[in-house]
Amino acid sequence: MISLRMRAEDLTRVRLARSPLYEVTGSLRTLGDPARHFVHQRWITAARREIAGLDLTVALALTCRPGWLPDFLLLPPAGWDTEFGAELDQLLATPAAAIRSALEELAPPAALPPVLRPLHADPARELPRLAESLARYRRLVIEPSQSRMNAVLDAEFTRLATGLATGGTVAAFDRLHPDVRYTEGRLDIDLARHSGEKDLPGNTGLLLVPTVFAWPTPFVVLNEPYRPTLAYPPHGVASVWRNPGDAECELPLGDLIGRSRALLLLQLDLPRSTTQLAATVGLTPPAVSQHLSVLRRNALVTSRRRGREVLYVRTRLASQLLAAVDQSATG
């Protein structure tokens, strides 16, 4: 377990960010240990077909070691709208000394896996090759699912931001992940292969990065000079790979109000936009908007504006209706 000692002012500096590079790094780790990442099994099966013939030897070697990921593949993102291209530029600008230092956390130079020794010996030559392989890999197996991933991540942003605004940082930590706990000035992160205590560096705060491919356990970046970062799986990860036609999406309530509206109500336990819902349930935004209008007129959803977006969430009546129908169907 890692314990981060946090002062009161540190709690005011907690920020949210999103990182395409974290998703790439986490997904490579997932490919290397499919049994542990069974929630992503459907994606794993499809990804393996897509990457046949793509040379990912170095990338997989950097991400396959249990309990270790190199800092240069977990560069703290700048904000919620971080672009993958900007992260690759940051990766390419990583000093050679930082690359070597990260690799030497894995093993001394002479004991590194042979495939990683060229990267240690000449980072300036090897980093562009690594970056190109990561970009090609992302185009093949991440970008096709990006809209669904974004829907879950945006919903997590709303959930966590609402928690921070209404209950404060301490309450938000309590609902972050089962392996993350805040108690009396200390944030405990239960990581099986790591232990120790550390003061959170002053004037930095903690960066929270919801990451689909962090499931099932969080990972952290605590080495200087990087900003302390905690990546964790957002709520609703399993829904990313669930197709609207799957058996588990068939709801008895669909017989009453229609299958599409029942699917929308199922997704609206957290506030979501029309675009997010469309990506999740496989409908067009206009169709989703039409269904939401019907549900709202019947007091099953409510809406509120956040900037340019309108967010929808199901009402207590809708939740009671879902629960009652489900109980009747299974009882």
Q: Of 241, 236, 274, which is closest to residue 157 (Cα–Cα)?
A: 236
Tell whether the model's pLDDT for residue 42 goes beyond 80: yes
The domain that contains 266 carries what CATH number? Answer: 1.10.10.10
Domain boundary among 206, 232, 258: 232
pLDDT of residue 310: 87
pLDDT mean over 224-246: 80
Instruction: State whether the Cα torsion 67-68-71-72 is positive or negative.
Output: negative
Is the pLDDT assigned to residue 116 strictly greater than 90? yes
Stretch 37-52: mean pLDDT:
90
Whether 237 is covered by a domain: the verdict is no
For the four alpha carbons of 29, 34, 36 and 42, in that order, the dihedral sign comes to positive
Which sign does the torsion angle of CA 181, 182, 184, 186 carry?
A: positive
Identify whether residues 160 and 134 lie together within a single domain. Answer: no
Mean pLDDT of 37-62: 92
Instruction: Please give the pLDDT value at position 247.
Output: 42
- With tokens 């949210």, the residue in question is 16
| 186-189 and 2-5 strand pairing | antiparallel
CA dihedral 162, 165, 171, 177 (to 10 degrees): 40
34 with 107, same domain: the answer is yes
pLDDT-based confidence at residue 244 (cuts at 50, 70, 90): low
CA-wise closest residue to 208 among 232, 226, 234, 177 = 232
Distance of alpha carbon 6 from the chain centroid:
24
Tens of pLDDT along 266-325?
Answer: 778 767 788 878 877 778 889 999 999 999 999 999 998 867 778 888 888 888 887 776
The answer to whether residues 303 and 226 belong to one domain is no
Between these two residues, 70 and 168, which has the higher pLDDT value?
70
CA separation for the pair 120, 101 (Å, rounded): 9
Looking at residues 55-59, what average pLDDT do you find?
96
Confidence category of residue 144, pLDDT binned at 50, 70, 90: very high
Provide the Cα torsion 214, 219, 223, 227; round to 10°. Answer: 60
Say whether both 40 and 123 belong to one domain.
Answer: yes
Residue-wise pLDDT for 69-95, tens only, equals 999 999 999 999 999 999 999 999 999
Q: Collect all residues with Cβ–Cβ distance below 8 Å to 90 and sequence separation of at least 6.
A: 75
Residue 149 reports pLDDT greater than 80: yes
185 within domain boundaries:
yes
Q: What is the DSSP letter of 206?
A: -
53 shares its domain with 134: yes
Q: What pLDDT does 165 receive?
A: 82
Q: Quick one: 132 and 174 in the same domain?
A: no
Residues 128, 178, single domain; the answer is no
Dihedral, 45, 50, 55, 61 alpha carbons, nearest 10:
-30
Question: Do 112 and 182 lie in a common domain?
Answer: no
Which secondary-structure segment (H or E) carries 210? strand 207-210
Instruction: Judge whether residue 248 has pLDDT over 50.
Output: no
Cis preceding linkage at 210, omega within 30: no
- Kindly state the percentage of the chain with pLDDT values over 70: 93
Residues 260 and 187 in one domain: no
**Band of residue 326 on the pLDDT scale cut at 50, 70, 90:** low
49 within domain boundaries: yes
For 104, the domain range is 21-144
High-pLDDT (> 90) share of the chain, %:
44
**Least reliable range by pLDDT among 19-28, 61-70, 216-225, 227-236:** 216-225
What pLDDT is stored for residue 249 in this prediction? Answer: 47
238: in domain: no
Q: Is 119 exposed, middle or buried (0-12, 13-18, 19+ CB in 10 A)?
A: buried
**Res 277: pLDDT:** 84
Distance CA 267, CA 272 (A): 8
Q: How many domains does the chain have?
A: 3
Domain boundary among 104, 125, 144: 144
The answer to whether residues 262 and 307 belong to one domain is yes
Judge whether residue 108 has pLDDT over 60.
Answer: yes
Indicate whether 112 and 155 sit together in one domain: no
On whether both 151 and 11 belong to a single domain, the answer is yes
Residue 239 lies in a domain: no
- Give the pLDDT of residue 251: 59
What Cα–Cα distance (Å) separates residue 174 from each residue in 1, 140, 186? Answer: 16, 36, 12
pLDDT tens per residue across span 176-206:
887 888 888 889 888 877 778 888 877 778 9
| 261 has pLDDT over 80 | yes
Whether the pLDDT of residue 243 is over 80: the answer is no
The DSSP element (H or E) to which 187 belongs, if any, is strand 186-189
| pLDDT for the residue 181 | 87
The confidence score (pLDDT) of residue 170 equals: 83
229-232 vs 207-210, strand pairing mode: parallel
